């Protein structure tokens, strides 16, 4: 097979690949991450690159404009290599997997630390006192009575006996590896050892036996594994102290931006393995950094607790997610047994344990269960709702009596995908927008840099403000007003949010009618899901006393604007509570307490899942919500149109 050299700029990295391979696959070989929301199917148009030199064959695509074509722009996924190439990757096509900036991390973690002032009091429901301190892995220092002719009990039974003197353990297990080392270890340590006990599927396992007293060194990790972002936390299991927190992009993003494209990708040759390694590599690097920063030995990290949506957990464990997206949408497992972390490729102590927060269904995962636990929804007397807006909007309605959940296919608009200038809530994203009567635009970006695109909260602001100043009608059509910001082409009207002179990309940042349509569909999906849950329970929407808004999305969300466009129900503003990354908070709580894990199991079992696609009335509700804010204005009394 003929081979060609491909050099990528501005990285100046060269790789050699077979003739006919795509530029996207060459970039993966080069370790360069190009955005590819659709997983390389030529649909999303995110992977634009500029071929500076060399020959290629490319499939035709409507995603490249005539002007771009003239500039040598191609979709990396559709373009086959025919000679040595020089390829430039523009900033907007780039997925930066380096550490997020402090602001970006902050965005993803808000609500984690009680010392952040802006955190709502509701976050502190997960105070130290809620769950008994009984971490997934505990250490016990033992001074064993030495054997003598009157006490000749074997080494292993001696160990068990001593453990049971301290705490009664009905079913204790030990692996052969520990038994093989036991005789020498007990004697060389003068019968003074520390055992690490791990909870494992209804039994207690002696995970580790170490010489001397190492009880001070007992660390664990909690992870929120999101489709886009992965957040991890290093905890001292003895003191419950958070020793470090990291957030980074999930490297799987190279293979598609949402769970569906990932599931589709998993069915390719080696697809599942690649997705599995991508998430594991991301986590391992985070773990390495977390322990290095605290000078902690990886061997002293004894367990990891993961919360994630059902697809992410399947991919983490290298379990085929195929059936999640096939009717009747049944995952392989919601309650995954605790395994050795090494079995999943996670590098902590080789005998350390990995546990996952149980999920409810294919589209309501352990992250939602952890979220419920974290905001204490399951203990509330009053009716509450938890809304986690992402590609799928996961919604839980309930209180201490019942829990009912659903997943609304909002589409990726709020995550910056499927909208012309959309991007994730990363550096350069327009996050807050104000438009005045003269259509002057005021905005802030994440990181305070020149804008690259618009993220979810930015779009909500823009649409709300456009409604307020009469730029669009309640159907979302841009009014035919003469203004430099209002332009028209064959696809319809568009509004220029930022002119190209001010952007990083050199192009106008705009919102098109098609974008507004996408936003409308997304918000309608969420809102109608909320309505359906309340109807399912025969409850009045107005009875909801607390609305927990979870996820990074919530952090910069302007509640007024979200209600203005009809995304959130029109209730008193003080009922809305931002709970930040409630999945990570919940995972940490479960890591630190078996009682919390027990509770998570109860919540997952108790929670009813409503499949919206087959729920009678959902389509009607959805159609009714396809207006700003809604066809039935009575539902939005605070909005004066």
| Positions in the binding site for a copy of itself (CB under 8 A) | 147-149, 151-158, 170-171, 173-176, 179-180, 182-184, 187, 201-203, 317-320, 322-323, 327-337, 339, 343-344, 361-362, 609, 611, 614
Helices (H), 231-353: 259-266, 271-293, 310-316
Closest contact distance (angstroms) between CB of 146 and a copy of itself is: 9
52/509 Cα distance (integer angstroms) = 25
Closest contact distance (angstroms) between CB of 275 and a copy of itself is: 14
Following CA atoms 500, 501, 503, 505 in sequence, which dihedral angle do they give, to the nearest 10 degrees?
60
For a copy of itself, the closer CB: 171 or 481:
171
Closest contact distance (angstroms) between CB of 228 and a copy of itself is: 24
304/288 Cα distance (integer angstroms) = 13
Q: Hey, which bits of 43-150 come out as E strands?
A: 48-53, 56-58, 73-75, 79-81, 85-88, 137-143
For a copy of itself, the closer CB: 92 or 205:
205
Closest contact distance (angstroms) between CB of 153 and a copy of itself is: 7
For a copy of itself, the closer CB: 102 or 170:
170
Closest contact distance (angstroms) between CB of 332 and a copy of itself is: 4
For a copy of itself, the closer CB: 383 or 532:
532
Closest contact distance (angstroms) between CB of 331 and a copy of itself is: 5
Burial of 287 (0-12, 13-18, 19+ CB in 10 A): buried
Task: Return the sign of the alpha-carbon dihedral for residues 272, 278, 284, 290.
Answer: negative
Q: Enter the tokens of residue 12.
A: 């100046």
Angle at 505 between CA 501 and CA 510, to 5 degrees: 75
What does the DSSP assignment read for 20-65? T-BHHHHHHHTT--B--TTSSSSSS---EEEEEES-EEE---TTS-
Measured CA to CA in angstroms, residue 1 lies from 4, 6, 45 at distances of: 10, 16, 29
For a copy of itself, the closer CB: 367 or 461:
367
The SS3 assignment for 558 reads coil
Closest contact distance (angstroms) between CB of 338 and a copy of itself is: 9
Q: Enter the tokens of residue 401.
A: 């009596």
363/391 Cα distance (integer angstroms) = 11
For residue 450, which of 519, 500, 502 has the smallest C-alpha distance? 502
Cβ atoms 390, 551 nearer than 8 A: yes
For a copy of itself, the closer CB: 248 or 608:
608
Tell me the β-bridge partners of 498: 509
Closest contact distance (angstroms) between CB of 184 and a copy of itself is: 6
Burial of 243 (0-12, 13-18, 19+ CB in 10 A): middle
For a copy of itself, the closer CB: 245 or 405:
405
For a copy of itself, the closer CB: 31 or 337:
337
Closest contact distance (angstroms) between CB of 506 and a copy of itself is: 47
Closest contact distance (angstroms) between CB of 321 and a copy of itself is: 8
First-residue to last-residue Cα distance in the chain: 66
Q: Enter the tokens of residue 37.
A: 């929301």
355/357 Cα distance (integer angstroms) = 7
Burial of 641 (0-12, 13-18, 19+ CB in 10 A): exposed
For a copy of itself, the closer CB: 365 or 476:
365
Closest contact distance (angstroms) between CB of 205 and a copy of itself is: 10
For a copy of itself, the closer CB: 154 or 164:
154
> Residue 578: left if φ>0, alpha if ψ -120 to 50, beta else—which one?
beta
For a copy of itself, the closer CB: 152 or 241:
152
376/599 Cα distance (integer angstroms) = 11
Match 């929120």 to its residue by tokens. Answer: 224
For a copy of itself, the closer CB: 17 or 364:
364
For a copy of itself, the closer CB: 602 or 611:
611
Closest contact distance (angstroms) between CB of 186 and a copy of itself is: 9
Match 């589209």 to its residue by tokens. Answer: 363
Closest contact distance (angstroms) between CB of 555 and a copy of itself is: 32
Q: Longest C-alpha distance within the chain, in Å? A: 101
């Amino acid at each position: 097979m003929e081979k060609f050299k491909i050099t990528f700029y501005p990285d100046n990295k060269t790789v050699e690949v077979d003739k006919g391979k795509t530029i996207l696959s060459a970039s993966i070989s080069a370790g360069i991450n190009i955005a590819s929301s659709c997983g390389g199917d030529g649909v999303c148009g995110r992977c634009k690159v500029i071929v500076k030199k060399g020959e290629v064959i490319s499939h035709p695509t409507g995603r490249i404009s005539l002007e771009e074509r003239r500039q040598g722009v191609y979709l990396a996924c559709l373009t086959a290599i025919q000679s040595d190439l020089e390829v430039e990757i523009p900033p907007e096509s780039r997925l930066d997997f380096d550490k997020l900036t402090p602001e970006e991390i902050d965005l993803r973690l808000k609500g984690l630390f009680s010392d952040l002032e802006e955190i709502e009091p509701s976050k502190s429901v997960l105070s130290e006192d809620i769950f008994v301190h009984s971490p997934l892995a505990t250490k016990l220092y033992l001074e064993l009575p030495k054997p003598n002719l009157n006490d000749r009990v074997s080494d292993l039974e001696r160990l068990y006996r001593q453990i049971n003197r301290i705490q009664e353990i009905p079913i204790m297990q030990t692996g052969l590896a520990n038994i093989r080392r036991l005789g020498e270890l007990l004697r060389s340590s003068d019968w003074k050892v520390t055992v690490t006990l791990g909870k494992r599927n209804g039994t207690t396992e002696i995970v580790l036996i170490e010489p001397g007293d190492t009880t001070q060194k007992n660390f664990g990790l909690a992870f929120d594994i999101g489709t886009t972002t992965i957040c991890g936390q290093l905890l001292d299991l003895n003191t419950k102290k958070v020793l470090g927190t990291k957030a980074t992009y999930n490297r799987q993003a190279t293979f598609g931006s949402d769970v569906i494209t990932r599931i589709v990708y998993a069915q390719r040759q080696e697809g599942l393995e690649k997705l599995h390694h991508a998430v594991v590599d991301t986590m391992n690097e985070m773990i390495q950094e977390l322990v290095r920063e605290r000078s902690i030995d990886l061997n002293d990290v004894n367990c990891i607790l993961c919360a994630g949506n059902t697809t992410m957990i399947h991919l983490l464990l290298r379990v085929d997610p195929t059936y999640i997206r096939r009717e009747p949408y049944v995952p392989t497992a919601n309650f995954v047994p605790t395994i050795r972390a090494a079995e999943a490729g996670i590098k902590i102590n080789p005998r350390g344990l990995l546990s996952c927060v149980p999920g409810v269904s294919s589209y309501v995962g352990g992250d939602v269960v952890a979220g419920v636990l974290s905001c204490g929804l399951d203990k509330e007397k009053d009716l509450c709702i938890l809304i986690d807006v992402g590609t799928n909007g996961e919604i839980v309605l309930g209180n201490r009596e019942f829990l009912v959940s659903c997943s609304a296919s909002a589409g990726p608009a709020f995550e910056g995908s499927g909208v012309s200038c959309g991007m994730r809530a990363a550096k350069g994203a327009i996050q807050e927008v104000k438009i005045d009567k003269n259509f002057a635009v005021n905005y802030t970006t994440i990181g305070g840099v020149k804008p690259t695109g618009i993220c979810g909260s930015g779009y909500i602001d823009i649409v709300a403000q456009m409604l307020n100043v009469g730029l669009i009608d309640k159907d979302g059509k841009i009014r035919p007003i003469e203004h430099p910001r209002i332009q028209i082409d064959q696809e319809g009207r568009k509004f220029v949010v930022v002119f190209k002179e001010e952007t990083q990309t050199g192009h106008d940042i705009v919102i098109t009618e098609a974008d507004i349509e996408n936003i409308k569909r997304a918000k309608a999906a969420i809102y109608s899901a909320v309505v359906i849950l309340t109807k399912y329970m025969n409850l009045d929407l107005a009875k909801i006393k607390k609305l927990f808004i979870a996820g990074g999305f919530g952090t910069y969300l302007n509640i007024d604007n979200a209600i203005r466009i009809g995304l959130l129900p029109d209730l008193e503003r003080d009922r809305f509570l931002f709970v930040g990354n409630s999945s990570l908070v919940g995972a940490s709580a479960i890591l630190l307490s078996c009682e919390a894990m027990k509770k998570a199991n109860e919540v997952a079992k108790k929670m009813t899942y409503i499949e919206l696609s087959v729920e009678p009335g959902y389509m009607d509700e959805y159609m009714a919500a396809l207006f700003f804010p809604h066809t039935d204005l009575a539902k939005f009394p605070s909005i004066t149109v």
